[in-house]
Amino acid sequence: MSKSPKVPNNNLRKRLKEMGLREDSLGYWYLDSFSKNDWLITSYVKTVKVCKEIVIYHTGEYMTSGLTEEIDCYDEEAVISALNKLLKQIQNINFKIKQFKLKNKINAFKEDFK
């Protein structure tokens, strides 16, 4: 049985966990508040790749797309910077989804009072 490619930089692993990410046994990192299925970071023993962007489909579903170049896992600031860009996109998406749901509720109320 092969060993999972866990990030060997324990400080980086700690920082990622403090940011709310969780790691699975295969070396993928997830943000549960975003998705339990779409990983944000994947590890390759001494390097990691971070997803570059979030793609939103016309159905309202979204998923991660594209990867950064490999980043040395000991270059913590580069990893955190790439992750922060992605987290900002996730915040914007969550805000847009809330706006969309609110707009639909308002439209439903308007229909009720016609």
In a domain, 94, yes or no: no
Give the Cα-Cα-Cα angle 14, 48, 83 (nearest 5 degrees).
Answer: 65
Domain count for the chain, please give it: 1
CB 48 within 8 A of CB 28: no
In a domain, 74, yes or no: yes
In a domain, 97, yes or no: no
Under the banding of pLDDT at 50, 70 and 90, the label for residue 106 is confident
Q: What pLDDT does 73 receive?
A: 94
Determine the structural domain holding residue 51 and report its residue range. 10-89
Under the banding of pLDDT at 50, 70 and 90, the label for residue 58 is low
Could you give the residue ranges of the DSSP H alpha helices within the chain?
A: 10-18, 76-112
Mode of pairing for the β-strands spanning 47-56 and 62-67: antiparallel
Looking at mean pLDDT, say which of 56-65, 77-86, 90-99 comes out highest: 77-86
**Cα-based torsion angle of the residue sequence 32, 36, 38, 42 in order, rounded to the nearest 10 degrees:** 70
Give how far Cα 101 sits from Cα of 89, 94, 97, 104, 106, Å: 18, 11, 6, 5, 9
- Identify which has the larger pLDDT, 26 or 56: 26
Q: What pLDDT does 1 receive?
A: 40
Average pLDDT over residues 59-68: 79
In a domain, 73, yes or no: yes
